Structure formats: structure tokens, C-alpha cells
Amino acid sequence: MGLRRGRCCCAVVLSAAVLSSAADPKAYCPKVPREPGDRRPNPDRLRIVALNAEYLMYDVDSGCQEAWHGCPWMDAQHAKHHLENVAKAIASLDADIISLAEVRSCAELRALAALLPGGYAPYMVDGRDTYTAQNVGLLTRVDPVADVWRTNARAAYPIEGSVCGYSSSGGGGGVDDDGSTYGVSKNYVAQLALFGGDLKIAVVGLHLLAHPGSVERCARREAQASVLRATVEALAAGGAEVIALGDFNDFDAIAPGESAGDACSGGIGGGGSGCGGGAAQLYNLCARVPARTRFSAWWDKDQDCTIDGAAELSLLDHVLVTEGLAGAVAGVRIAHEYGPFRGQKACVNSDAYVSDHWPIVVDFDLSRVPRGGGSAAACATQ
């Protein structure tokens, strides 16, 4: 969850049978088919979506289990209705690749795929967040060419050149923290090969540590960014264009949101570990969204189910790409197509509620992407 808080051509009717396997916490799906397929209607078009779906977790008996810390759905009926609302919102976007945060297992992904047109396949690798049981998952019309995997690497914190102001890592504690190093509990890497293998694209889905205002968490998030930067650089060195997307739980001074929050760590901008140095140059595509609509998350500070102004809005979700894909962008928007909006009530567990985040939608014209190798340059966001 962040700071906390169209048309659908399918009939959204969700049965308990579809989700019966969701009670199995080992329901993950990293394996690719023997013959990976590409079910996009136009091979030159690629539309990606990044959405924090806010506790997309469902159990046919209890809805949100007590062990899923923070899960807001009061019972199984509301959890099921939430999943259906997410399906409606996703269907209206007609994306080719959908990266989702705060998903429990592949059972939820399969349930979404069953409700969507267009031939989506679900992929997820087991994460390490044992506190919330959240994972990041992928729905895609383009099958990866290798099993989906995750990085389990760790980085020491505070990093050299940290901008967080944190001076000690001796305390430790929390998910993926051993007191001196930190890892990325929720991430996946999906490797695609398009145009007969001439264009390699690696999708890195992520969900970084929450609470942007915490100095200690800021330092840990910089360590997470260091781990992901190394992963991106390795993928780019192997000839892939890279898309890193998801809930960064951080701001970017180069792409400030409507509330104009400064970057509170080096997790995204060039001031710290997110992109500072290395071989793979990354561009934050949210910088191309008009400033007045550049927000992806809502924190209902006073819990009145209404957006009271820019102070409750922020840009925590981002899509970063390497240079070849940056030059092929045909459009970027944040799809504020469901409530809440100013003056419109939208409470958790209400009929129209989808998430406390909105999806980022990016269109690429792949005919403009150079073939035969990944991008390289000094790292920065633009």
C-alpha cells in the first residue's frame, strides 16, 4: 500500500471455485510454457500498466486473514468484490503487460486473468514478505522466454553518499533486514524476446519499503535501490532494454507529484543509489505526465473518504526505462478513471472502491526501438 490509504467488455462474475486455490500460500507460478506465445494484437505496440492493487488477497473462507497485517477487507464478500473491481479497472486499460503490487499469490492473478479479455497469462515468484504476505505479480500477453525469477541480493546501509541522514544500521529488524544489510522482499524479473529475439526486454517488477518520511526506512530503501540497480545493469549488459516499474514508495525530484514533494532518498533520482552511476541509464517516464495530473497514490489522512487537496496526493509509483525504450514512448498517463476525486466519497469496502493507487499507463512504438542490444550511458532519470 502506498502512503496508506472505461469500458469493460467482460462480464465480471467471480465464483468461489475460481479462487479456491488462493488458500494455498504456495500458489506461485514462475514457470513459462514450453513454447512461449505473443498474444498482442499489434506486434509494434506495447502497452504496460503498473498498479498497486491494495491488498489483492482473498480467502474463500475468511476474506482477509488476520495474519495478513493491514488487510482492510472486513470479510470474504468484500475481498471478492475488491478483486472484481480491480478486474474492471484493468480491463478498461487494454494493456499487454500488467505489473501488480500487493498480490498474495498466483491464485489471485489467475482469478483476474479469468475475468479479462485478451489472453493474459499469470506469473509470480515467491517473495519474502512474511509480515503482510504481499507479493508482486505479472499478467501478460507476452510470455517470458525463461522462468520468472527474483534477486535475493542484499546491500549494506546506509549506502555511501546516502541522502537520508541515517547514521547507524545496528538496530535491524523487519522484513529482509539483518541489521546491516537489506534486500528487496518483493520483486520479479521477466525476460521477453520479441521480433524473433531481435528485441530483448526485461521487466523488473518491484515494491519497495513503505513510509517515505522515515529516515531509517529511507536508508533501507536506498539499499534496495542499490540491489535493483545492479540487477538492471546486468540485464542491460546482456543486451536487454529494461523496464523497472512498481510502487517505489518514494518521490523523485525530477518528476515531482502534484504535492511537489522532494525526493526523500536516493532511491530514484541521481542523488543516491537509485540511478547514480553504472552502465544503464534510466528515464523516469512519469516526468512526461502533466504536473497537474502527476499523482498515483492517495493518503486519506483524515479518513473522510474524500480527497481534500494536494496534500493527500503523491507520486509513489514510477516507470523507469532504458534509453532505447525511452525513445519509443508513444504516450504516458496516470489513469484517474476511478474514484475518489474531490467531493466524491470513496471508502474502503464501498461498492466502487478499487485501490488507494491509480495505474500508470505507458504506450511504446516498438518499431522505434534499436535492435540487437541494450542501452548504455551514465545513469540518471529524465
In a domain, 7, yes or no: no
pLDDT number for residue 190: 98
In a domain, 2, yes or no: no
Strand partners, 318: 246
SS3 assignment, position 305: coil
For 243-327, where are the alpha helices, taking DSSP H only? 323-326
pLDDT number for residue 75: 80
pLDDT number for residue 214: 83
The whole-model pTM stands at 0.87
Q: What is the DSSP letter of 82?
A: H
In a domain, 15, yes or no: no
Mean pLDDT across the stretch 193-213?
93
pLDDT number for residue 166: 87
To the nearest whole number, what is the mean pLDDT of the chain? 82
In a domain, 134, yes or no: yes
CATH classification of the domain holding 149 = 3.60.10.10
Q: In a 10 Å sphere around its CB, with 0-12 CB exposed, 13-18 middle and 19+ buried, how is residue 67 labelled?
A: exposed
In a domain, 45, yes or no: yes
pLDDT number for residue 268: 53
Q: Is the pLDDT of residue 333 over 80?
A: yes
Please tell me the total count of domains within the chain: 1
Q: Is the pLDDT of residue 22 over 60?
A: no
98 and 138 Cβ atoms separated by less than 8 Å:
yes
Q: Which three cell numbers stand for residue 289?
A: 505526465
Q: What percent of the chain has pLDDT over 70?
A: 77
Strand partners, 56: 103
In a domain, 44, yes or no: yes
pLDDT number for residue 312: 87
* Spatial strand order in the sheet of 187-194: 187-194, 199-207, 241-247, 317-321, 283-284
Q: Is the pLDDT of residue 352 over 50?
A: yes
Q: Is the pLDDT of residue 329 over 50?
A: yes
In a domain, 13, yes or no: no
Give the least confident one: 11-25, 96-110, 156-170. 11-25
Q: Which three cell numbers stand for residue 338?
A: 476511478
What is the distance in angstroms between the CA of the first residue and the CA of the last residue of the chain? 26
| Enclosing domain of residue 311 | 20-368
In a domain, 215, yes or no: yes
Q: Is the pLDDT of residue 2 over 50?
A: no
For the chain, where are the alpha helices, taking DSSP H only? 76-91, 106-115, 215-237, 323-326
Q: Amino acid identity of 185? A: S
Confidence of residue 57 (pLDDT cuts 50, 70, 90): confident
